[in-house]
Structure 1
Amino acid sequence: MSAEEDAQIQTTSVTSPSLVHACDRCHRRKIRCDKTIPCAGCRSIGVDCVRSRRPRMQDRKRVLISAQYERKIDQLTEELNRVSKIVEALHEGSSASSRQTCITTPSHGHEGIASAVTADSIFCKQSLSGALTSEPAVAGPSYMVDNDVAIEGKSSLAATSAFGVDFIQNIAKSSHCIGGRSEVQELLKNLRNTVASFKSRRSEQKTLFPLTPSLPSGGRQKLAMPPIQVAFTTISNAQDESDFTYLCLSSLLSPRNLSDLCMKVYCSSQHSDIEFFIINAALYFLTVDPRIFQNDTEGHSQFEIQQQMYRANMENMLARLPLYLDESYEMVLALVLGVFYALDSSRTHLAWTLITAAHQCSYSLGYHTHPDNSNEPLNSRSQTGLLFWTVYYLEKTLCLRIGRSSTITDSDITISRPKRPPESNSYHLDYINLQLKLASLAARIYELLFSAGASRISRNERTQRALELYHELHGYCEKVDEIIQLWKQSTANYAINDQLQIITSSDKVFRLSLKTLISQAISTPEESTSCFSEECISSARDALDCHQKSVADFSDKGLLFVSSYINWTILFTPFTAFIVVFCHVIESGDVEDLRRIRTFADSIQEAAQYCKAILKHKRLFSAFVDVAVHYTKLKSSPGSHQGKFMYHRVEEGWQQSIPDEQTQGASQTNNQPQEAVEMIPSSLSSIEPLAQGQSIQGLGWNQQDLWGGNWFSINQQIMELMEQDAFSF
């Protein structure tokens, strides 16, 4: 640059400093520049004052975003319209399916089913196609369940309750003096409605996980949990008292412990969803025991809040389980804990879904096998084996509860069951081994006596199967009582003995329930006037008495503890003893048995406030008790002595009209007593072909439905006929 140009720039800078930018040094250091050449800052430190050309900042313009808002609102409106159409289509499809089912007649059963399936298939395709082509909704997914009747097998309580309804209806219809009264009609109507509500999976559409909140923007790390001091206090108290639940969790979590896992979840963001679920489940089950906070007033006051947090977190994780699970030990353990939570809240169908998923994961991981050349440590193999046998026990026992065949094949299992080492006091291993045998027996009870295949065998073969299972169960009862006594003698821990008392009481009620269920499949003698054998009635009475004693023993531990006991003892197993004693009360009018069923219904009333499923069962049992009380009063009134006699004569005619598979033929069906035909009331004229000796199979009934202990006479056609005008009494 020439001297003249430099002088010109300097003159201009001095006279008009606003036309010159700040030097590079002042601009970089963010200090004020006097914009002279050189500037004062550069002159003071003796450096060159350099100015680089910088682009001029563009003028800012105001952006109008109202158009963007309008487009966003239009998109939301379109998405809401799609959702509304899908909901309307679902409602219309459900109504159409219900109408199609109602107009289906027995004579055209296959055509009706085919039409219903076709209509449902078309509806599903339309709904799914609309849903798949729609854009993803802004809100999270809703986990809804169908408002249909839950399908359960003949060993379930729903099936036995339906039999109780059929039983009392048949008796009421056989007597004009009792069945014709308006109060009896009203009682039977209420009972039918109660049983229908009990069999329904949901009385209204609700989410499958009612405590699942919307996941915060920060993910599971933002889900609410109790303070870390409360969590560690819970674990510490359980560890100090050698809590039974804590010992079981520790054996499954080894070599890690609950404290380490709790520290990782609370203090680190590197934990997984499975670890988050496991620690919430562990803390939940540890706080279920009221002894944990017996000396901690502040902890006890926060008990319900903690329980709600743990349950909400567990349901949040369960609701977001993917269809394809990561096969790992932690996943199987989380699913097992989810099964325990589902059973504790009386969600048996959710428990079945989780336990089948746990079985598939453990099967894929090879936990059911014992490899010959394995480099895995012995304690690790025993740990995976213990987890597999836990899955085995839960799955086999649930088979009988909901009436489904087992998905576990015993022939594929090569791993050995837990055994007590010689000269060892580990009697709990012997007890676990016996419990696994009992679970296997429970699954075989359903398969051999109450499955669809068992309903097609002759009654003699079915009775033989029941007798073999009964003797096997009797041998188990003798062994388990001996093992429990040895277990009690080998431990001096008060907490363990307290848990053993609970285990003993629950196990005894469970065994008596199985005895009752097996005895129902044993045919009664022809000269008997009762639906059930003496062994069946005796086992049912013992089960009710044992339950009542257990509730009295646990009353000092609190209603929450009693609620958990009822979930695991009465709701976890098919407790059919109540229905057996109810039917015996209707038959004989036994006052003591009436007291038993009334006391049983009252025993679960107070615990119903902690569980909706218990409340649902309480309403069912109370409805049966009301019917039994009113019927007993009417039966003892003057002029009602013929009702029982006429009923048994009708039953006798039904039994003799059933063709036996060994002597089946037309000649056998024509030999029924004429007296039974003459004494059938006119209100039963709609089944006149049955009274004339025609084949009972024409009505869709089979031999096992009416004769197999007269227990599972559960048929939709019977209920439909009884709701017709011709069957009004």
Structure 2
Amino acid sequence: MPSMPPAQGKDILRNQHEYRRLRYLQVKCDRESPCSHCIKSGAQCSYATAPKPRERRQRVMVSHTYDSKLDAISRKIDDLGQRMSQLTNEPTRSRVSKPDFAVPANIEHCQVSFGLTPSPSSLGSTPNQGVNPTGDGISEVNYDSSKDEYEGESSLFAHAVFASRFLQNAINNATNTEVAHEMEAAIDGLRNAVNSGKQQSDTIDKLYPRAKAIPPGSSTRNLPLPPIDKVFMCLRMARECQQVATLWLGDYITPTQFNDYFIKIASPGPATEAELIIVHCGLYWLFCECSKAVTNDEVRQDYDAQALICKENLETVLANLRFHQPTNIDVAYAMGMASLYCLQKNKPSTAWNFINSAAHTIQALGLQHNATAGEGTEEKARKGNLFWTIYMSEKTLSLRLGRSSTFRDHDITLARPGIERHAGNFLGDIARYWIDLSSIQGRVYDEIYSPGALMQPPDIRTSRAQALAAELKSAMQNAQDFHDRYEARKGHLLGRGYHEIARRSDRVTSLCILTLIYRSIPPEKPSTSAFCQECIDTARETLREHDRCVAAITKERSKTIFLEAYINWTITQSPFIPFIILFCHIIETSDGSDLEHMRGLVEMLEATPDTSAYNTCDRQRRLFKALYDVATKYVEVKTRTQGGVSWSTARKQYADALAGAGTASSGPGTGTLDQQTAGDASCNMTSYGEGNGSGIGLMDGLVAPAALQNPAFGDVDMEMDLSGAELWDWFNKNQSILRMLEDT
């Protein structure tokens, strides 16, 4: 064996030494329990006595139970997180509690819940909001003020602003300075009436003041119902009393349908939000109508208490209504009833959001088309009634708020109810005439007051207005004939007095629309009035018919019931333009003969009881009272200061003088000064508001085309003629006065 080099031998010995040292450190387990080495060293033996079993692979569970458990765990974690957050922040306030301090209007909250829609008004007004979940899908909603909602051309605000400017320019043009000084106090009263309504979008506690906070772990399904025996007692009364049956649900939902909804809610088991709205709203109306029909004071008070419970339940459900709703008939019924409820409370903007949801739902279901051959007669009638009821409500609100309707008449193939149809009740039989009126209301906005219509030449708008006026007169005559026939055949069912009130109320509504149509027609030259003669005559006839209707209501034993219905569905549900027209006519002529007609409306509103049933007209009462006081004062001052001439005369003289000097414009007008003349006049006269440092807000410069300086025009004003711009300016500022008239 060959010898190794000394160096290599040393390396081998060193490696062997390291190997022996490592072997000494390593201790092999002797497989005992515990092993001998662990016993010597006092350590815990970790050697497994048997092979570790392999875990069985599990299939992924995709069942509904598995998903529900995950959702429940997720909700509990979210709820725990919210509770921890609330411990570090200020305590959560109740939804209906009043804030301890005023939040500045310019502070915006950016917390938004995509799962819930706290209020339907948020769809239209887009208020800034914060949402604090309280458990089980219920959230507390903290609203902040937001920008005013846009409203179009045909509501009451523009007419009130026009009347204010009309008065301002009459005072500016007065040749006697005493008129301006004596009118100052009256103008301040009018300014206060208008400015009192300058408010932002409704907060949640104002939209639904009766809504209750949902405790954690509960939901709107657990809201208490009135005693079952009292509900059945009222349902029996609705079956036996024609007045209760007619004024309760009319032709919207049959009593049999409502009974099915109620039994489902009163029984254990799940229920949808739509079913809750239908039942709580229906019960609220039922107890209200039964309360009006009974004569026993104790029973009436009991029914009022039950109605309050249902009202609280309804507003609680509406305040917690989810944004995403299924597309079915129940949702359409619920949204329609919620819209009618908001209209009763003089909340047209919120009602508009609900009725739009109902309109989209029924159109998605195809109810605007003729029913399929497989559907039964009863089902066809039920769907037809639902469609036309929502159609009428939506068209009426469209004109009132000045917004384009979601229904396009050329898309509707469903046949309108014919004269041969007999619904078995008054409201069902007259519905076909109301449908015709609603269709005309939608076209009044589209063809006369929409921005596109105002871009058309004046002669085109005039021809459209004349055609609509003729069609409306024909519809009014058809409705009058129906009232006569129905009263002769079935007048005993509801009473002769009821039919007279219904006839006159319908006529007041139709005359209001006719006045609005005539307002768009310029007067014949060389008239110095701002309105055509047909507009003034129709406005007078409207207030005369109003006086006749109030007289008929006063004669009835149940006058409080009919007066409440008349105010809620006639006075507050349509822009009451005739009052504004007569006010302006009095100012331009200094003739007080029309004050008597205006006084009748003001006295009726002031005579209403100070109860919640009549609070909806409180703001109309203040506005109309201020206009009446101003008109009365103006006529009084003008009569006493014999040295002055009427504004219309002074305006004509001034226009003629400028025309002789070659400065008058030859452009078309709507009865005011030609626009160039008006512009020159406004430059030579100091506005009353500027002169005394206070002003009336929006009352400056009616004669000048103030619409041309209105930022709301955008790029629209340049495409309008001056008369169209003036008409736009009159109707474009609807929003504030409608917000004022909403009972907030």
* TM-score category of the 2 structures, normalised to the smaller one: 0.7 to 0.9
Separation in structure 2 between the aligned mates of residue 360 and residue 232 of structure 1, nearest angstrom = 34
Indicate conservation of the 8 Å contact 1:158/1:199, yes or no.
Answer: no
Deviation at 1:459, TM superposition (A): 1.6
Three-state SS of the structure 2 residue aligned to 1:517 is: helix
Instruction: Give the drift of 1:576.
Output: 0.3
Alpha-carbon separation, structure 1, partners of 2:263 and 2:364: 31
Q: Is the 8 A contact 1:506 1:565 kept in 2?
A: yes
For residues 454 and 412 of structure 1, the distance between their equivalents in structure 2, rounded to whole angstroms, comes to: 21
The separation in 2 between residues aligned to 1:654 and 1:141, in whole angstroms, is 64
For residue 702 of structure 1, report the CA deviation from its aligned partner: 7.6
Closer/same/farther in 2, CA of residues 439 and 141 from structure 1, 3 Å limit: same
Q: State the Cα distance separating 1:639 from its structure 2 match.
A: 4.7
Q: Distance in 2 between matches of 1:182 and 1:650?
A: 23
- CA apart distance, 1:92: 6.1
Structure 1 position 286, deviation (Å): 2.9
1:562 aligns with 2:569: no
Q: Which residue number corresponds to residue 607 of structure 1?
A: 608
**CA-CA distance at 1:421 after TM superposition:** 3.5
Normalised TM-score (structure 2):
0.71
What amino acid is aligned across from residue 415 of structure 2 in structure 1? S
Q: Percent of aligned pairs with the same residue? A: 24
Describe the superposition over 1:17-54 as per-residue Cα deviations: whole angstroms up to 9, x where unpaired. Answer: xxxxxxxxxxxxxxxxxxxxxxxxxxxxxxxxxxxxxx
Matched, 1:347 2:347: yes
Aligned pair count?
A: 600
What does residue range 582-597 of structure 1 map to in structure 2 within 5 Å?
Answer: 582-597=583-598
User: Is the CA contact 2:418–2:432 (under 8 Å) kept in the aligned structure 1?
Assistant: yes
Structure 1 residues 271 and 495, CA gap change in structure 2 (3 angstroms): farther
Is residue 209 from structure 1 mapped to residue 208 from structure 2 by the alignment?
yes
**Equivalent residue for 1:76?**
86
Task: State the secondary structure of the residue aligned to 2:522.
Answer: coil
2:622 maps to 619
Residue 488 of structure 1 is matched in structure 2 by 487
Does residue 194 of structure 2 align to residue 184 of structure 1? no
Which consecutive unaligned segments of at least 5 residues does structure 2 have? 1-80, 94-98, 110-125, 691-700, 711-716, 734-744
User: Could you give the per-residue CA deviations for residues 227-263 of structure 1, whole angstroms, max 9, x where no partner exists?
Assistant: 2222222221121112364587485545834445444
User: Between Structure 1 and Structure 2, which shows a larger proportion of helix residues?
Assistant: 1
Paired letter, 1:256: T
CA contact (8 A) 1:158 1:198 kept: no
**Partner in structure 1 of residue 386 of structure 2:** 387
Secondary structure, counterpart of 1:154 in structure 2: coil
Maintained 8 Å contact 1:420/1:429:
no
Alignment of 1:647-662 (within 5 A): 647-650=651-654, 657=664, 660=667
For 1:236, the equivalent position in structure 2 comes to 236
Residue pair 1:427, 1:483 contacting (<8 A) in 2 also: no
Code of the residue aligned with 2:352 in structure 1: it is W
Residues 246 and 425 in structure 2, CA contact (< 8 A), matched pair in contact too: no
- Work out the CA distance in 2 between the residues paired with 1:370 and 1:77: 58
CA distance in 2, matches of 1:257, 1:423: 19
Structure 1 residues 625 and 241: alpha-carbon distance in aligned structure 2, compared to 1, 3 A threshold = same
Give 3-state SS (helix, strand or coil) of 2:315's partner: helix
Checking the alignment, whether the CA contact within 8 Å between 2:251 and 2:427 is kept in structure 1 is: no
Deviation (angstroms), 1:330: 1.5
Q: Is the 8 A contact 1:175 1:642 kept in 2?
A: yes
Matched to 1:418, the amino acid is P
Is the 8 Å Cα contact of residues 166 and 584 (structure 2) preserved in structure 1? yes
| Structure with more relative contact order (C-alpha pairs < 8 Å, separation 6 or more) | 2
Contact 1:559 1:606 in 2 (8 A): no
- What is aligned with 1:142? 141
Residue of structure 2 in register with 1:297 after alignment: 297
Structure 2 residue 158 is matched with structure 1 residue 159 = yes
How far does residue 397 in structure 1 lie from its aligned partner after superposition?
1.1
Alignment-mate amino acid for residue 642 of structure 1: V
| Unmatched 5+ stretches in structure 1 | 1-70, 98-123, 663-667, 718-729
- Give the Cα–Cα distance (whole angstroms) in 1 for the partners of residues 328 and 420 of structure 2: 29
Instruction: Mark the CA change 1:285 to 1:451 in structure 2 (over 3 Å): closer, same or farther.
Output: same
Task: Check if 1:579 corresponds to 2:580.
Answer: yes
Task: Tell me by how many angstroms 1:550 deviates.
Answer: 1.6
TM-fit CA distance, 1:416: 1.2
Provide the residue aligned with 1:360 in structure 2: 360
Q: Is 1:284 the counterpart of 2:284 in the alignment?
A: yes
1:512 and 2:522 are equivalent in the alignment: no
Q: Which amino acid aligns with 2:667?
A: D
**Which letter does structure 2 place at the counterpart of 1:332?**
A
Equivalent position amino acid for 1:340 in 2: L
The structure 2 residue matched to 1:646, chosen from 650, 659, 662, is 650
Q: What is the Cα deviation at residue 423 of structure 1?
A: 11
Name the CA shift for 1:300/1:558 in 2 (closer, same or farther; >3 Å): farther
Does the CA contact (< 8 Å) of 2:210 and 2:312 recur in 1? Answer: yes
- TM-score norm. by structure 1 comes to 0.72
- Note the 1:300-319 alignment, pairs <5 A: 300-319=300-319
Distance in 2 (CA, whole Å) between partners of 1:224 and 1:197 is 38
CA contact 1:548–1:600 (8 Å) conserved in 2: yes
Alignment partner of 1:633 out of 625, 636, 645: 636
Q: Offset of 1:266 from its aligned partner? A: 3.3
Give the SS at the match of 1:140. strand
How do 1:94-109 and structure 2 match up within 5 A?
94=106
Higher mean displacement: 652-661 or 458-467: 652-661
- Offset of residue 212 of structure 1: 0.6
Deviations 1:517-575 (A, max 9, x none): 11101110121121112211111111112112222322342445423311210111111
Whole-angstrom distance in 2 between the partners of 1:424 and 1:250: 10
Q: Offset at 1:201?
A: 4.9
Task: Give the match for residue 172 of structure 1.
Answer: 171
Kindly provide the amino acid, as one letter, of the partner of residue 632 in structure 1. V
Q: CA deviation at 1:425?
A: 9.1
Report the Cα offset of residue 205 of structure 1.
Answer: 8.1
**Counterpart AA for 2:375:** E
Contact 1:519 1:535 in 2 (8 A): yes
- Is contact 2:274–2:330 with CA below 8 Å preserved after alignment? yes
Contact 1:512–1:543 (CA under 8 A) maintained in structure 2: yes
Instruction: Give 1:467 deviation, angstroms.
Output: 0.7
Matches of 1:142 and 1:426 in 2, distance apart?
A: 42
Matches within 5 A, 1:166-565: 166-175=165-174, 177-178=176-177, 181-198=180-197, 200-201=199-200, 206-216=205-215, 218-220=218-220, 222-243=222-243, 245-246=245-246, 249=249, 252-254=252-254, 256-289=256-289, 292-372=292-372, 374-421=373-420, 431-491=430-490, 493-495=492-494, 499-555=498-554, 556=556, 557-559=558-560, 561-565=562-566
Determine the C-alpha separation between the residues in 2 that align with 1:223 and 1:156: 38
Are residues 260 and 686 of structure 1, via their aligned partners in 2, closer, same or farther at CA, if it must alter by over 3 Å? Answer: closer
Decide whether the 8 Å contact of 2:335 with 2:354 is kept in 1. yes
Once structures 1 and 2 are overlaid, which stretch shifts more, 168-177 or 347-356? 168-177
Q: 1:334 Cα shift? A: 1.3
Deviates most, 166-175 or 426-435: 426-435
Inter-partner Cα distance in structure 2 for 1:649 and 1:198: 37
Find the aligned partners of 1:686 and 1:195 in 2 and give their Cα distance: 15
* Aligned partner of residue 207 in structure 2, secondary structure: coil
Decide which moves more: 579-588 or 411-420: 411-420
Give the Cα–Cα distance (whole angstroms) in 1 for the partners of residues 492 and 158 of structure 2: 43
CA offsets per residue over residues 405-460 of structure 1, 9 Å max, x none? Answer: 11111222122111243899999766322211110100110111111112212222
How far the C-alpha of 1:654 sits from its partner, in A, is 9.7
Alpha-carbon distance change, 478 to 695 in structure 1, aligned in 2, over 3 angstroms: closer
CA contact (8 A) 2:247 2:289 kept: no
C-alpha change, 1:631 and 1:640, in structure 2 (3 Å) is: farther
SS at match of 1:170: helix
CA contact (8 A) 1:148 1:201 kept: yes
Which shows bigger deviation, 481-490 or 218-227?
218-227
* CA distance 1:547–1:697, change in 2 (3 Å): closer
- Assess, with a 3 A threshold, how the Cα gap between structure 1 residues 634 and 386 changes in structure 2: closer, same or farther: same
Paired with 1:147 and 1:487, the residues of 2 have a C-alpha distance of 49
